Structures are given as structure tokens and as C-alpha cells.
Amino acid sequence: MLRPIAKLIFSITGWTVFGKMPKELKKAVIIAAPHTSYWDFFYARLAFAIIGIPLKVTIKKEVVNHPLMGWFVRSLGGIAIDRTPKKGNLKKKRSMVDAMVDLIHESDELIMMVTPEGTRKQVKKWKSGFYRVAEQAEVPIILGYLDYAKKHAGFGPIFYPTGDYDKDVEEIMEFYRSKTGKYPELGVK
């Protein structure tokens, strides 16, 4: 149902989708960058609908399970992130990375979107969680992007973590340097 609506909105607003998802790829972390506006989720969600990817975004379990808005959040791809301590460790919450890795391991298919900036505000560097999730879950990183200057939503290369975080992130960042966020001054370059 969302696909025809997404195509219509993209047609009216002048946006175009680029790239295809390999059919055999069942699990991955997809970077959503640059992330400088609330509009990013809207356009990314529409692009995923057009391509036919069952997008998933981690959200606190209290929001996903909320009696009034939980259905809406789930319909947009929200999945509950549960950070409650595992058995044997009653005090320390699990990290977001550990909880996300567990979600990937427990699923037959899961393409999980992560924003490396972690916020829409100006940051000096990306958070490393997306990389650590992909590395620990042994899944690739898909370079997803929104380029507001060109009105392009799409996917770049599929990247496999090598374990050399600094080198890998520099290579990934090189791809994003030519992409323009809605508010370019807020993006990490």
C-alpha cells in the first residue's frame, strides 16, 4: 500500500531512487546519511518502500509497545530495542550495540537502518555503533544516502568491515563527501 503512495510523492517532489538491493542479502546494517533533518526519515522511508526493502529502525521498546501509537511506529518499521540486563547481570543495561546484534542474530531477515551521526545536530564525527553492530553480527554495511541538492535517495556500495575501524570509516566517509544533507552545515565531512 505504501509503495504507490511513495512513488507518487517522489514523482510530485522530483526525487529519484538509485540503486538496488541484492535479493540474496537478507541481513545488513544500512547507514542513513547525511542525517540533518526530521525530513530524512520521511524520504528514506519512501525510498525503502519504492525499492521494496522491509526497513527496520530500532526504537525504545516502550514506544513500540505503546498501546496508542505502537501500531503506527511498527507500521513504519519500528522494532523494539530491549536493553534489559541479561540473566546473571541484574544491574547493568545491555548496550545498544549488543541489543542490535542480538536482534540481527535472532532474525532470519533484518535490514536495520542506523544514523551514524546519532542526531540531527552538528557533530564532529560519527558514532561507531553502526560499525560495531555490523562487525559483531558479521553483516555488511550498505551505504544509504539522501542527497537533497540532487533530490536523490539511494544506495551506494555494500561495505564489509575489515576490523580496521579508522581506515574503513575514512573509506565510507569518502563516499558521503559528495552527498548534501537538507542542512549541509550540520553534516560531518
- pLDDT digits over 46-83, tens only? 998 998 888 788 777 787 788 888 888 888 778 877 77
Q: Is residue 141 part of a domain?
A: yes
Is the pLDDT at 116 greater than 90, yes or no? no
The pLDDT of 6-27, averaged and rounded, is 92
Residue 67: inside a domain: no
Confidence of residue 87 (pLDDT cuts 50, 70, 90): low
Q: What is the mean pLDDT of the chain?
A: 87
Residue 86 has a pLDDT of 67
Return the percentage of the chain with pLDDT > 90, whole number.
Answer: 48
Residue 101 lies in a domain: yes
Greater confidence (60 vs 31) lies with: 31
Domains in the chain, number: 1
Residue 165 CB contacts under 8 Å (≥ 6 apart), including other chains: 128, 131
Mean pLDDT across the stretch 155-169? 94
Span of 25-34, 42-51, 107-116, 122-131 with lowest mean pLDDT: 122-131
Mean pLDDT of 153-165: 94
For cell 552527498, name the residue. 179
The answer to whether residue 84 is domain-embedded is no
- At 79 the pLDDT is 83
Q: Is residue 61 part of a domain?
A: no
Hey, what long-range contacts does 184-187 have (CB within 8 A, 24 or more apart)?
A: 184/34, 184/36, 185/122, 186/34, 186/36, 186/120, 186/121, 186/122, 187/33, 187/34, 187/36, 187/117
In the block, cell 559528495 appears at 178
Q: Answer yes or no: is 134 within a domain.
A: yes
Any idea what the Cα angle at residue 101 is, between residues 99 and 107, rounded to 5°?
105
Note whether residue 82 is domain-resident: no
Phi-psi region at 14: left, alpha or beta (left = phi > 0; alpha = psi -120 to 50):
left
The three cell numbers locating residue 118: 546519532
Residue 165 has pLDDT above 70, yes or no: yes
Tell me the residue range of the domain where 143 lies: 26-51+89-177
Task: Report helix, strand or coil for 183.
Answer: coil
| pLDDT bracket for residue 15 (50, 70, 90) | very high
pTM comes to: 0.86
Burial of 156 (0-12, 13-18, 19+ CB in 10 A): middle
139 by Cβ neighbours in 10 Å (0-12 / 13-18 / 19+) ranks as buried
Tell me how far apart the alpha carbons of residues 55 and 28 are, in angstroms, rounded to a whole number. 11
